[in-house]
Amino acid sequence: MKSVFFSLVACLRNFRALVVFGLSWVLLLIFLLLAVTLLASAIDLGDSLGALMFPLMLLVAAMFFCSLFFTYRDTFEATEVLLA
C-alpha cells in the first residue's frame, strides 16, 4: 500500500509532464496515420493499407514502450547507497 501511495504522489507531481508526454505520442500517432492514409490514397493502395500500417504501428509501439523506461527513470530517481 505504501508503494502505491508513493507512486501516486510521484505521478501527481509530474502530472503536467505526463500529459505533455501522452499528448505528444497521440499527436505523433495521428500524424503518422494521416500521412500513411493520404499516401495510400494518392497511390491508390486502398487494399494494401493494412500491410503498410501493421509494420508502422509495430515500430511506433516499440518506440513508445522504450520511451516508458526513460519516463520511469526520470520520475523515480535511483539514489546510490554508499557503503562505508
Q: Are 32 and 25 in contact (CB under 8 A)?
A: no
Q: What is the Cα–Cα distance from 60 to 55, expressed in whole angstroms?
A: 9
Cα dihedral sign, 7-9-14-16: positive
Q: What is the pLDDT of residues 13-42, one digit of tens each?
A: 889 988 999 999 999 999 998 988 888 888
Output the CA angle 60-70-20, nearest 5 degrees: 70
pTM: 0.73
